[in-house]
Chains A and B, each alone.
Chain A
Amino acid sequence: MAATINMSDSERSSPNDQSVSSRSSNRSLRVAEKERRKNEAEDPFVLALKYFSDVEAGTPVYGNDDFERNLVLVEKVAYSRGLPPEAISIMLEFAMSLRMGSAPCVRVLKCLIPATVVPQEAVVRAVVWLGVGKIPISTQVLFIKWVLTIFDMIDTKDQLRAIYGFIFSYVTEENLVSLIHCFFAVRVFRVRKLLELQSKLGRQPFLLHLLSLYKVFCPELVTLSIPSRMRSGFRNHISPWKSALIAVQKRNGSQIASSMGLAFTTMDKTSSRKRKHCHLEFPALRPVVNKEAPTDQSSGRKMVPLVQLHSFAELLENMHRIELPAQMGSLLGSSLALQYLDCVQDESALLRLNFWLGYTLHEEFLFCGDGGATQNSEEALQFLNKLLSAHHFLQEGFSSSEAFLYKFLNVWDGSLLRPQILGLLSNIPVVPSSQIGRLLSEPLMQLFFTSSLFFKCGLMECLNSMLLKWLTWHSVYALEDDLDISLNSHTSINMTLSGFKDSVMELVRFVGRLASVGLQIEGCHSLFLSFVLDFYETVCDTFLKYGLPLVVMPPSGVFYPALLATDPISVDRLAYIMHRYKVNLTSAKAQEKQTKQAFHISRQTFHEFNHYVVVMVSCLWNSKMFQPGLDVQLGEELLLKSNVPQFWTSFDLIHHPAFMSYAVDFHQKCWPGKKDMDLSSIKHSKPWSWYLEYLFTQGYDGLKQFAQSNISRQLTAGDGQGDTQQR
């Protein structure tokens, strides 16, 4: 068969090509330099081209040194930098016109590597030469392959489209069939012809591919299912140029235009393997078969199915006339489609998506009797990860996954796909405060108290990121001048500012309860404490960072474990949090005064805050632990019984278990000679201020900021005298 001969032909000569190309690439620098030295007139490349355009018909090839020398030159340039458009025109014209017979034709075709674009003129002229009919079949095949390879580099394609019918006629030349995939107009009679050919030739991969392209572009004409072991039909024909082309383009610093991507990726998807309960597959992008004809025609726009777009640039270009695919679920499977989904306004399209997603999640995780998700956890994992990344991309969750979660939380064991489920959970939109209890708190509380420390930390992180998202939505969408904010996902539900505040408050209180009990259960584990403090770092800044007039203080079940923690980081972070609370409260108060329009942070909140600050200062700075009036009170007798000397100092910055080592270190540095260590001596005015400086230089910025905003030192006083600012 001619086709196979041709293939082997090209293979035989390919090592040669490669050696040429590698040699030439080694030399490319020198060549380039040489060129720069010579001027245009005597540029050998220009002369070579001139030779090929002027050579007379019938000049012999064999033994023609001029020809050989010039062709090698052109090849060198082609493989190193690619040929400029005019050179392509000249060489193609030379080859296809058979001016020196068909012998050099193949060789010339092989070196037609465009540097930038290919002029349409040249291609059309070459096609015309095809019609003359003297060119051997194998060369014709080679030419069409070349056209396919550089198809995306042809500058304009209008005339080519016009002569598509002509090119299509080569489909009957059975060896050329494989190649005509260029996306021209699809016509019924062409499909018919292909189908006829199919019945004549059987299942040829190239025919299938061509037909499947028709399926993409004209789904109402042809139906086809691709067997799973389908090989690529076109790709291998392109190899003679592809590598050289990529090399040249790399050198020239431009991107390779991929023409084949689209059709093949969609096919790969359809051919994915099937299993018995395959809920967890994203459907393939397919165009709609039964179009809504009348409305589209009246608006005079031709719709472009999303399947036909394969780059972001194309997406942008066709933004106004994109036709949604047959199955909305397929949008989640492709990153480009996701870009478009972000702009989809069509309510019913999103409903379709939600139907599919909800169905999939329900079937896989709720309805399945045979433990679906646990059995194919790998697929479930991938599915949820894709869903999550779609959520992250859109910065919002789908309502169907939200509805699913409310049900699933009640049956979840807390360990199945934990990161994914928690990830989905953190994406749910604001829940009305009246519903938080039933939908979130109850199931989560059960899970929380019966699960490992690891789960507790994970849930805390999840709730923190949920709060962050709620607050971010608020700050983005509530910048309007009325109290009504369309915060909830559905337009018909306008959540009022106070409604939103209630929700946030409810969430924060819920987390406060969880954190208090969790810290108790886990013995104030510092890892868990760190996640709790993360959460309060978000909470303390709601007013300044997110413009939400709401300040909620942590419960004492969180405050004291942090204050009395054995690691200095936690104490430092608590100090930072208290500092931020103070900044938020003062600016809220200032604004209240300024605008005369109170949003009323309750007295209670100020009271709680002040109380905490007093506790912190008297505990860490003033060594007045266990004094009456503070939360932590122990009977005098009990304290005396404990035999702890000066028990009131035991939680100041010197004796606090978290800072003791710093005190010792400081003591050694301060009085290096001293044998007996008396930490209390740090408490004296001068060393105390040095000690604080020392602590601040150790990176305890939280403490530093806290001290700066809350403690006015009276230098004259003998011992560190703190004062809290009262409002």
Chain B
Amino acid sequence: MERPQNSVVRTPPNSTAVQRRSKSKSYRQSYRSCLGAASRLGLTPGLTARRLNSSRRALKSHIITEKVNPDHLALLVKREWRLSYITPLHQFRHTQLKRYSRQLSAFIAAEKQQGVAVEVEGSQSGFRVSFSVVQGLAATDDDAETVLIQIFSRPVFAKQDEPQKSVWSGWLTCINGNPEYLQSLPKGFTSLPLFGGSGAEVLTSLVKSWFQQTFDCCFGPLEINHTSLQWLAALWTNCHTESNLQHLKMIWTLPVVPPLQITYTINPQDAWELWMSVRKDRLEKTEDEEEAGSIDIEEVMRFVQGLKSHFYRHFRLDLSAGNLNQVSTALGSAKFSGKIKISNSRYMITTLTLLTECALLKMPV
């Protein structure tokens, strides 16, 4: 019987074997597995379930007004953004923003009037798009600079000389993105995993599809889950002394028939005291400022548990059975459906860090 090649037996080192090796190598190379410790995408979704950080820095009032263009900041705050996550952009260049502006405006014009071709270089379109970099928002060297997109248009019945009004704006950002993940991306990819848009839904979807076609990326809705909302509640409460919360409002839904929605508004001072009682242990124990500044998930859970049991004492309703749907304070508001409003630019970085983390968790590879 013919004996097949066996890897134990040393085959003579002839040229064909060498060739085969190189062929097989290059072929195999083409399909990356998600397994194995040495995988270049260090975060292997199949194996290591990425989780939210269990500990994070307290919201510090970053004085980003010094670093970031105040006009840009003004655009980012006090507006409700609908969030999405985006897979890394391919061949995105921060230096080509002018060109992208032209292309996107031509794209929007073409989509708006189906079936009429639009010249890219011409600027006859009714929409003007501007891409700009928000310098200074990035927190680490791995973070790509935030990109701001605005779409202007002249109202239909406007006079000729009336200036164009901003009808849509949006941004792509990455703040304190997981360095392991960001560094694992090959050259040519830019990770700006968090996208927020505000304005007509039609324009949002046009912008998205232009990005998809141009940078081969994908957009998916990013909801702010239960845990993240609790984090935000705690982080915002933590800032009360520096900047008045005015109120801490949480909206819970309970799965009963008919569905029950509970708006739970807490006096900021009470919330602060509860939070301090949770934090007391840590603050007493450590002298180290670093240590004192960080907050653990356990503390957040204890804080929320305190709020829940308070509610239970009064109304005999256990909120643990329900879902936290919305959190709002004077510093901002966040909804489960993925809408966020940041009202105070001083605490923007930490909030965006949390959201960037959520977005990176959604990455498929």
Contact = CB atoms under 8 A, between A and B. Distances in A.
Contacts of B96: 290
B280 interface: no
A402 interface: yes
Contacts of A358: 364-365
B63 interface: no
Contacts of B118: 222-224
Contacts of A485: 7
Of A225, A283, A478, chain B has the most CB atoms within 10 Å of the CB of A225
Contacts of A587: 1, 3
B36 A492 contact: yes
Interface string A88-114: 000000000000000000000000000
Interface stretch (B20-28, B71-79, B227-235): B20-28
A581 B7 CA distance: 20
Contacts of B93: 290
Contacts of A286: 213
A357 B32 CA distance: 13
A12 interface: no
A327 B211 CA distance: 10
A478 B7 contact: yes
Contacts of B156: none
Interface residues of A, number: 93
A186 interface: no
B30 A344 contact: yes
B107 to A, nearest CB: 5
Contact of B115 (A194, A215, A227, A289): A227
B32 A490 contact: yes
A587 B28 CA distance: 31
B114 A402 contact: no
A476 interface: yes
Contact of B25 (A350, A362, A481, A491): A491
A412 interface: no
B29 interface: yes
Interface stretch (B10-18, B262-270, B287-295, B317-325): B10-18
Chain B interface size band reads 35 or more
A597 B9 CA distance: 8
A429 B87 contact: no
Contacts of B187: 348
A361 B363 CA distance: 12
Contacts of B34: 399-400, 402-403, 406
B87 A359 contact: yes
B253 interface: no
A444 interface: no
Contacts of A477: 24, 28
Contacts of B13: 481
Contacts of A402: 33-35, 46
A338 interface: no
A671 B107 CA distance: 91
B88 interface: yes
B216 A488 contact: no
Interface stretch (B37-45, B138-146, B299-307, B327-335): B37-45
Contacts of A361: 364
B120 interface: yes
B11 A489 contact: no
Given A208-B115, A211-B117, A547 B6 contact: yes
A589 B93 CA distance: 63
Given A396-B31, A489-B33, 16 more contacts: A194-B117, A223-B118, A225-B115, A283-B213, A351-B185, A352-B90, A355-B216, A403-B34, A406-B46, A477-B24, A479-B7, A481-B7, A490-B29, A492-B40, A591-B3, A591-B6
